[in-house]
């Protein structure tokens, strides 16, 4: 391997740092990131508020490095389902790697930086490297766990509980990539986004937020969430962080 390649590779590793943090949180060894970085991803800036972009164009493996994005699907009669938020370090659509096609769209909330690995090259790498394949497996399973938990929320919990759960989950996930403060974080979502995510109407999201404000649980204005009482919020949501599989992350 030439010096240039090593140099280039190290550049990639540092570019990919939020993704590295994610892999590390999942208990994967650091060489995993190096092997993946050797695939030389295409770095792509996506403007804020963009929509209608396939989450993994041409079966590529896309990872968000900076910004907030979300996976969504349009429903009949103009409504929309937001299937999940994508934070720095998260794959945009992990399933596309194996099945070679994506069935979700990706939208951005803020300006984003995406690392896009060529699909075929990445699949080749998976076949050659047990570590990389394991990383994909764990990423998939981590998502699995989040989906399962969210399922439970949607099926059995009230609007305020879902909202509280979302806020708790986001705090843990953002903290893993150093994007949360002790008392809150930036939340670049409108109430309409929240509604599409929580399976509620925008009106009811508004009502629920008012109620949570009135109970001194949270403050939310200018895209900034401030949590006044974490314990009460977590209790309301019946939130336990363990399903996120991030216990291996630095404190």
Restricted to residues 181-200, the positions that interact with its own copies (CB under 8 A) are 198-199
| Percent of the chain that is helix, strand, coil (3-state, to 5) | 50, 20, 30
Task: Find the part of the chain contacting DNA (CB under 7 A) among 10-18, 95-103, 141-149, 204-212.
Answer: 204-212
Tell me the two tokens of residue 77.
């009669």
Give the CA count within 13 Å in the CB-facing half-sphere of 130. Answer: 0
Angle between helices 119-128 and 130-156 (to 10 degrees): 110
Task: Find the part of the chain contacting its own copies (CB under 8 A) among 14-22, 58-66, 92-100, 183-191.
Answer: 92-100
**Residue of 16, 46, 200, 218 that binds DNA (CB under 7 A):** 200
224 is a site residue for its own copies (CB under 8 A): no
Q: How far is the CB of 195 from DNA (least distance, A)?
A: 7
Restricted to residues 142-161, the positions that interact with DNA (CB under 7 A) are 158-160
Which among 26, 103, 38, 49 has a CA at the least distance from the CA of 72? Answer: 103
9 is a site residue for DNA (CB under 7 A): no
Query: Which residues are CB-contacts of 234 (< 8 A; sequence separation ≥ 6)?
Result: 164, 168
User: Which residue lies nearer to its own copies by CB, 91 or 184?
Assistant: 91
Q: How far is CA 41 from CA 9, 16, 34, 169, 192, in A?
A: 10, 10, 12, 29, 33
Task: Find the part of the chain contacting its own copies (CB under 8 A) among 10-18, 109-117, 174-182, 238-246.
Answer: 238-246
Residue 224: name its binding partner from DNA, its own copies, none (Cβ under 5 to 8 Å by kind): none
**Residue of 95, 186, 215, 219 that binds its own copies (CB under 8 A):** 95
Beta bridge partners of 226: 184, 219
Residue 183: name its binding partner from DNA, its own copies, none (Cβ under 5 to 8 Å by kind): none
Task: Find the part of the chain contacting DNA (CB under 7 A) among 52-60, 62-70, 142-150, 203-211.
Answer: 203-211
Query: Which residues are CB-contacts of 180 (< 8 A; sequence separation ≥ 6)?
Result: 170, 171, 174
**Residue of 5, 7, 148, 192 that binds its own copies (CB under 8 A):** 148
Tell me the two tokens of residue 198.
């929580």
Beta bridge partners of 117: 61
User: Which residue lies nearer to its own copies by CB, 49 or 240?
Assistant: 240
Long-range contacts at 121-128 (CB < 8 A, ≥ 24 apart): 121/39, 122/39, 122/60, 122/61, 122/97, 123/97, 125/35, 125/36, 125/38, 125/39, 126/97
Q: Which residues bind DNA (CB under 7 A)?
A: 158-160, 190-192, 199-201, 203-204, 206-210, 221
Binding region for its own copies (CB under 8 A): 73, 75-76, 79, 81, 83, 94-95, 98-99, 103, 126-127, 130, 133-134, 136-138, 140-141, 143-145, 147-148, 150-152, 154-156, 198-199, 238, 242-243, 245
């Amino acid at each position: 391997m030439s010096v240039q390649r090593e140099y280039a590779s190290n550049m990639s590793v540092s570019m990919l740092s939020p993704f590295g943090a994610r892999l590390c949180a999942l208990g994967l060894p650091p060489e995993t990131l190096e092997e993946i970085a050797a695939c030389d991803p295409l770095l792509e800036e996506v403007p804020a508020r963009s929509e209608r972009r396939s989450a993994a164009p041409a079966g590529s493996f896309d990872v968000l490095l900076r910004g907030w994005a979300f996976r969504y699907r349009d429903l009949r009669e103009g409504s929309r389902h937001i299937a999940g938020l994508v934070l720095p370090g998260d794959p945009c659509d992990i399933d596309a790697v194996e099945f070679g096609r994506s069935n979700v769209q990706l939208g951005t909330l803020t300006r984003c930086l995406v690392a896009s690995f060529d699909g075929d090259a990445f699949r080749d790498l998976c076949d050659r490297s047990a570590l990389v394949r394991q990383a994909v497996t764990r990423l998939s399973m981590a998502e699995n766990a989040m989906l399962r938990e969210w399922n439970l929320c949607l099926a059995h919990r009230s609007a305020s509980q879902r909202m509280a759960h979302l806020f708790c989950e986001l705090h843990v996930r953002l903290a893993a990539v150093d994007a949360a403060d002790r008392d809150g974080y930036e939340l670049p979502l409108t109430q309409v986004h929240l509604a599409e995510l929580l399976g509620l109407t925008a009106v009811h999201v508004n009502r629920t937020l008012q109620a949570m404000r009135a109970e001194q649980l949270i403050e939310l204005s200018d895209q900034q969430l401030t949590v006044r009482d974490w314990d009460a919020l977590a209790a309301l949501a019946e939130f336990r962080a363990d399903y996120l599989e991030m216990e291996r992350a630095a404190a």
